[in-house]
């Protein structure tokens, strides 16, 4: 879908605590959760892998942040769907122990198709299991990592909320209508959020693994030096652009120019080059001292362990 979905009011959701306000929903997915989801999609032996989404729900339920997820196995034989509820419960209890703040938000599926099973799954997470999002409405997230020709594509995430279809509650019971798994899924916008720290970590992961990476706190200096390198690379790029503008090769973007001039004229409380060098050397000396002390202590400990074992064998 190339144009965004229209979502300005929250649909009437099939849950007691849903729809208290009409403000549109915002779903954000943390980068680490996205990685988990992408990983889940490679387990694909059957038609889909599904699991639970954990995260934070704002008080009015209009902002939902997916932080964590786990896979819940299921079997799909003919028209029957068996979800391993026991696994779901034990996983939930485990994650609750490590992260008591995270609540169950809904579920994900690696199949981007919505079919009758989707409704059954949604039932399970909305109210079917002893651990479900009830009374809050559940969200559903689909992740697509391959296109129709089975080529790997950038993960495509679509999130949905479900609203009831036809009769519901007491009326449905009264009329004896089977309501299991009938939902209208409304797409809601979502976005992936990440922090600078995660981005830096990712840039390290991207590096070839067999590179001789420095260990200990030398990493800090190497990273700093690399960052400085990339920063001067950026400065070079801007400089090349500016040169082109001055030589009349291209028409300069006035807005960009103004912003540049105003930012470059910024005068932060600067440190002189000499003072900086002095600070750096001090820092290096300090960290060397700490490393030296740590290493001596380790040697001492090893020595004492050896001695103890000798003394004990003597006795």
Least distance between other proteins and beta carbon 292 (Å): 5
Structure tokens at 182: 């009938």
Angle at 63 between CA 58 and CA 65, to 5 degrees: 90
How far apart (Å, rounded) are the C-alpha atoms in residues 231 and 229? 5
The nearer residue to other proteins, 94 or 219, going by C-beta atoms, is 219
Classify residue 72 as exposed, middle or buried by CB count within 10 Å of its CB (0-12, 13-18, 19+): buried
**Contact between 20 and other proteins per CB under 8 A:** no
Least distance between other proteins and beta carbon 140 (Å): 11
Q: Which residues contact 95 (CB under 8 A, 6 or more apart)?
A: 54, 68, 70, 102
Choices 32-40, 49-57, 192-200, 277-285 (CB under 8 A): range interacting with other proteins: 277-285
How far apart (Å, rounded) are the C-alpha atoms in residues 12 and 161? 10
Selected from 142, 143, 157, 190, the binder of other proteins by CB under 8 A is: 142
Selected from 97, 206, 210, 255, the binder of other proteins by CB under 8 A is: 255
DSSP-assigned states of every residue in 112-141: ----HHHHHHHHIIIIISSSS-TTSPPEEE
**Contact between 295 and other proteins per CB under 8 A:** yes
Is the backbone peptide bond immediately before 135 cis, with ω within 30 degrees of 0? yes
Which residues face 141 on adjacent strands? Answer: 108, 159
Structure tokens at 65: 């942040």
How far apart (Å, rounded) are the C-alpha atoms in residues 225 and 232? 11
* Cβ neighbours of 89 (radius 10 Å): 14
Contact between 81 and 121 under an 8 Å Cβ cutoff? The reply is: yes
Contact between 92 and 129 under an 8 Å Cβ cutoff? The reply is: no
**Contact between 3 and other proteins per CB under 8 A:** yes
Least distance between other proteins and beta carbon 24 (Å): 6
* Cβ neighbours of 62 (radius 10 Å): 15
The nearer residue to other proteins, 100 or 268, going by C-beta atoms, is 268
**Contact mark string toward other proteins, 222..241, x via CB under 8 A:** x-xx--xx-xx--xx-xx--
**Contact between 260 and other proteins per CB under 8 A:** yes
DSSP-assigned states of every residue in 61-117: S-EEEEEEEEE--EEEETTEEEE-HHHHHHHHHHHHHH-TT-EEEEEEES-----HH
The nearer residue to other proteins, 81 or 89, going by C-beta atoms, is 81
Least distance between other proteins and beta carbon 151 (Å): 18
**Contact between 17 and other proteins per CB under 8 A:** no
Among positions 167-206, residues that touch other proteins (CB under 8 A) are 167-168, 171, 175, 177-178, 181-187
Choices 27-35, 68-76, 89-97, 263-271 (CB under 8 A): range interacting with other proteins: 263-271
Least distance between other proteins and beta carbon 161 (Å): 11
The nearer residue to other proteins, 5 or 202, going by C-beta atoms, is 5
Choices 41-49, 55-63, 145-153, 278-286 (CB under 8 A): range interacting with other proteins: 278-286
Among positions 296-315, residues that touch other proteins (CB under 8 A) are 299, 302-303, 306
Number of chain positions touching other proteins (CB under 8 A): 87
**Contact mark string toward other proteins, 88..117, x via CB under 8 A:** ------------------------xxxxx-
Among positions 150-169, residues that touch other proteins (CB under 8 A) are 158, 163-168
Contact between 250 and 242 under an 8 Å Cβ cutoff? The reply is: no
Contact between 164 and 183 under an 8 Å Cβ cutoff? The reply is: yes
**Contact between 290 and other proteins per CB under 8 A:** no
């Amino acid at each position: 879908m190339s144009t965004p979905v229209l979502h300005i009011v929250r649909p009437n959701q099939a849950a007691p605590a849903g729809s208290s306000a009409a403000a549109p929903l915002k779903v954000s997915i943390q980068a680490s959760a996205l990685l988990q989801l992408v990983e889940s999609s490679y387990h694909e032996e059957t038609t889909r892998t599904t699991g639970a989404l954990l995260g934070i729900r704002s008080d009015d339920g209009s902002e939902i942040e997916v932080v964590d997820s786990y896979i819940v196995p299921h079997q799909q034989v003919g028209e029957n769907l068996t979800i391993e509820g026991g696994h779901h419960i034990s996983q939930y209890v485990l994650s609750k122990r490590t992260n008591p703040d995270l609540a169950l938000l809904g579920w994900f599926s690696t199949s981007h198709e919505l079919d009758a099973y989707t409704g059954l799954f949604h039932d399970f997470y909305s109210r079917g299991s002893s651990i479900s999002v009830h009374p809050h409405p559940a969200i559903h997230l689909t992740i697509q990592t391959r296109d129709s020709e089975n080529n790997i594509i950038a993960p495509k995430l679509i999130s949905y909320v479900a609203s009831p279809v036809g009769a519901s509650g007491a009326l449905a019971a009264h009329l004896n209508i089977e309501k299991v798994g009938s939902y209208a899924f409304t797409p809601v916008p979502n976005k992936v959020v990440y922090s600078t720290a995660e981005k830096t970590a990712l840039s390290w992961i991207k590096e070839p693994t067999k590179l001789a990476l420095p260990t200990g706190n030398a990493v800090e200096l190497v990273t700093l030096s690399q960052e400085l390198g990339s920063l001067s690379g950026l400065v070079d790029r801007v400089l090349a652009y500016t040169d082109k503008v001055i030589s009349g090769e291209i028409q300069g973007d006035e807005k960009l120019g103004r912003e540049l001039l105003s930012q470059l004229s910024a005068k932060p409380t600067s440190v002189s080059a000499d003072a900086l060098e002095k600070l750096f050397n001090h820092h290096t000396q300090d960290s060397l001292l700490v490393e030296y002390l740590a290493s001596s202590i380790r040697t001492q400990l090893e020595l004492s362990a050896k001695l103890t074992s000798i003394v004990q064998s003597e006795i």
